[in-house]
Amino acid sequence: MHAAGRCSTLALLAFCLLCCGQKAPEEELRAALRLTVIDCFAGGVNLKVEAVNAQSCFVLCLEESKTAPDAQTVISQGMEVQPGKVSIEGLEAQTSYIAYGVAVSKSGESGMLTKVPFITTEGAAFLYDWEKRRSELPRYSNMALIYGGSAHRDPFRWDKERFDSHVTWTDTLGKERWLFDAFLAIEFVDTQYNMEYAGGYGRQAANKESWTRLLDYWFEEGYGFDALDQSIEDAIGRLGEPPVKRKVVMTMPDAILHEQFKDINSSTQYWGYLDGKMLDFNQSSERVSAMRWFVDETRRRWSLAGYKNLELIGFYCVSEDLAVPGYGYSQDLKRWEDVYPAISKYVHSCNETMNWIPYFKAAGHQLWADFGFDYAMMQPNYFWHANYNMNDFKTIIQKYGLSMEFEFDDAVLETSEGYMDYRVRFNKYISLCKELDLFRKRELSYYMGGNTLYNLKHSESAKDKEFYQLVCEFINDSEH
């Protein structure tokens, strides 16, 4: 027998002898309890509780620096538990704790105080119900990019009618069918306040107030996520439940280093306060703290909203490149290597996904998995640039395991000059997807301008309706 095994056996024997020694018939056997750490997580610990001669058991977890409690304090302030596996949640991440336990006999006599130390891991303090239920990262087939949150968008809000065009479609035989199974809530600027969520657009870096406005926009009652949930609810009334629950990915603003992206003399203390402290983005840990705040605030609001037909499945890196040493430009202004691996780790601790859509040949596209991104889909950009070499695109996709984004905008409408050329390029995307063996196997995303799918659906043009059918049929056929 190994030494560790002998020690465990001896400890168990001692535990039993202490509690179950020779007693006179009229004496009550003393209650006793033992705690063993099974594993730790970011917001707590899983303990194994063993007890003998116990009517009840109590456990209290305190930070290691706190004064050790007596047995009565554990009973009065602790959690009553049953023997077996016990999960203690709501603790701070990366913190040293001691779990104290006491067993109480039938007569109310408390046994000896026992304790066991542990350290919580890095990550989310707790998980919401939809996150706890996950045994693996959620997947999707077709994700629609839904732009909203900036004053320059026209129309500005996403209401139910506007979402209807993305939730279902009606085929040429008159049969209504489900359409997108995932929706990316995306924005990169806040034009009303001349701010930007992604660095490099010539505006002031968005602060905490702007990040909050973005959340307010998507969680506004009657619009945004609420309108999408209602659109799906109405469709369920007509079609029954969809094959899979519809999913949402939320854009996460960049924690931009300087208040003016390209001005290294501009302030790094512009974002705002967190826990009473003005954050300084010259400290990478404080950039990560701001992004963690956004992740947690999104999750909190989602939980409070209680959407019936939607599931939050992750977050999106709004920067379309990973400019780090050796890759791309302005690495010293971005320093993405200091924040994205860390925030990806945190998002994963929440059982959520990280998503990314780099532009064609974007800096750092080779690093997407190293940065902790789960799903990465490169933009071909061929829709607007017919001179782009799609053989290069195919090579990159295959070499680095990327998927692809589909692209079209109002240029495909019959009222647009040269619309047929743009439609030919979109058809090239379909061929590429199948040639690259992504069809029905990988996650795909769709850039559709601001409102193009809606415009196609409601167009009076027979040719526009024909293209609308083409797009919807491909999405329907590409589910996996």
Tell me the average pLDDT across 326-339: 87
Q: How far apart are CA 62 and CA 53, in angstroms?
A: 26
Encode pLDDT of 394-434 as tens digits. 999 999 999 999 999 999 999 999 999 999 999 999 999 99
Domain residue ranges in the chain: 29-119, 129-477
**For the whole model, what pTM was predicted?**
0.80
Task: Report the amino acid identity of residue 92.
Answer: E
Tell me the average pLDDT across 160-182: 97
Q: How far apart are CA 288 and CA 336, in angstroms?
A: 10
Residue 3: its pLDDT value, please?
A: 41
Tell me the average pLDDT across 324-341: 87
Tell me the average pLDDT across 84-96: 88
- Name the residue with higher pLDDT: 5 or 295: 295
Between the CA of residue 69 and those of 51, 72, 220, 280, what are the distances in Å?
A: 20, 8, 46, 38
DSSP 89-138: -SPPTT-EEEEEEEEE-TTS-B---EEEEEE--SS-S---HHHHT-SS--
Contact 318, 188 (CB under 8 A): yes
Contact 337, 289 (CB under 8 A): no
Percent of the chain at pLDDT exceeding 90 = 86
Judge: domain 129-477, CATH 1.10.10: no
Judge: domain 29-119, CATH 2.60.40.10: yes
Structure confidence at residue 27 as a pLDDT band (50, 70, 90): low
* 173 pLDDT more than 60: yes
Q: How far apart are CA 239 and CA 231, in angstroms?
A: 12
* 61 pLDDT more than 60: yes
Q: How far apart are CA 169 and CA 144, in angstroms?
A: 14
Which runs of E-coded beta strand occur in 390-443? 403-407
Task: Report the amino acid identity of residue 275.
Answer: D
